[in-house]
Amino acid sequence: MNKVHNFSAGPAILPQSAIDASIQALQNFGGTGLSLIEVSHRGKEFEAVVAEACNLVKEILNLSADYEVIFLQGGASLQFDMIPMNFLTPGKTAAYVNTGVWASRAIKEAKMFGEVNVLASSEDKNFAYIPKDYSIPADAAYYHCTSNNTIYGTEMFSFPETNVPMICDMSSDIFSRPFDASKFDMIYAGAQKNMGPAGTTLVIIKKSLLEKANAKVPTMLNYKIHVENGSMYNTPSVFAIFVCMHTLRWIKEIGLTAMEARNKAKADLLYAEIDRNSLFTGTVAVEDRSRMNVNFVLTNPAHEEPFLKFCASRNLSGLKGHRSVGGLRASLYNALELESVQALVDAMQTYESQNA
């Protein structure tokens, strides 16, 4: 079979080494003679997987001993509820920035548990930019932002300075570049964009934030319980965590500095073609262009379907924009190679030569 270039926004492309290791482990996991999906999560072989995955997260992000790392279920979406349930303490207000669908959902859920102050929103321009002009009230319970807006293709390249606990949804750009994790009190990411398959969510929490948590939170939604039980309060997503562990090994081997250079090269190549090619236009503010999700449209919408078909015929997959925004979206997550972006750029140039 010819190589299919996978631009899917999520679940998304993973490193071949993680897929190969998974195939092997489905046959015979760690020499147990059993499949990965038929062993106890409490066996020493799988406990070693969870421990290594957590340690890799700590190493890659240079986390101090002040942080806990756990793997939960329920997707990034369950975090939208768990965060206010645990940290929106009575009498306090939580501060959110609305940068798109996922941020809006986080806000909607938080409002079920307490007072929410939406500090800024880019909804006026269909979320085509990152709002930067706002200040965070010093008495907020926490500040919540979304570092990469998967659906719209905008990314935060800097974060505000504040003494308020900072919580960030990094589902779609975690491990794509170096950043100062010590600025954050909590980071979370659904695995299926940049670090693994669907079924597990990485949560990194500072111990000082955990200490401030509400006392009465249902057990399965209580971060302290999951931390105390090392992600093993109940049966974790064994398979998903295994694939994350292998993806994290691959990320560590490359390193975040080289990963950023790789990701920048891919994004620069595609944005340059979007800006050059007469048939295509970018949809978001240039300074906020995401390196992970590149949103663009055909200047003539009648070309959209034919161009997507043309792409499919060249083994370029997953380019249709999210149903809420339309147009095209090329997701360039860590594991996507530059040659795949080059194949897309070649297709755009050929299509232009045939249709301009």
- The binding site for ligand PLP (CB under 6 A) comprises 10, 75-77, 102, 146, 150, 169, 171-172, 190, 193
Q: Select 145 or 347, whichever has its Cβ closest to ligand PLP.
A: 145
What H or E segment, with its residue span, contains residue 280?
strand 280-282
DSSP string, 116-140: EEEEEE-GGGTT-S--------TT-
Q: Select 277 or 331, whichever has its Cβ closest to ligand PLP.
A: 331
Nearest distance from C-beta of residue 139 to ligand PLP, angstroms: 27
SS3 286: helix
Q: Select 147 or 222, whichever has its Cβ closest to ligand PLP.
A: 147
Return d(Cα 284, Cα 294) in angstroms, integer: 9
Active site residue 169: yes
Nearest distance from C-beta of residue 179 to ligand PLP, angstroms: 15
Tell me which of 3, 20, 66, 169 is the catalytic residue: 169
Return d(Cα 233, Cα 231) in angstroms, integer: 6
Residue number of the CB closest to ligand PLP reads 75
Tell me which of 173, 193, 250, 266 is the catalytic residue: 193
Active site residue 193: yes
Q: Select 145 or 348, whichever has its Cβ closest to ligand PLP.
A: 145
Tell me which of 102, 173, 266, 288 is the catalytic residue: 102
Active site residue 102: yes
The pair of structure tokens assigned to 133 is 């002009």
Q: What's the number of CA atoms in the CB half-sphere (13 Å) around residue 211?
A: 5
Nearest distance from C-beta of residue 187 to ligand PLP, angstroms: 12
Please give the positions annotated as active site.
102, 169, 193
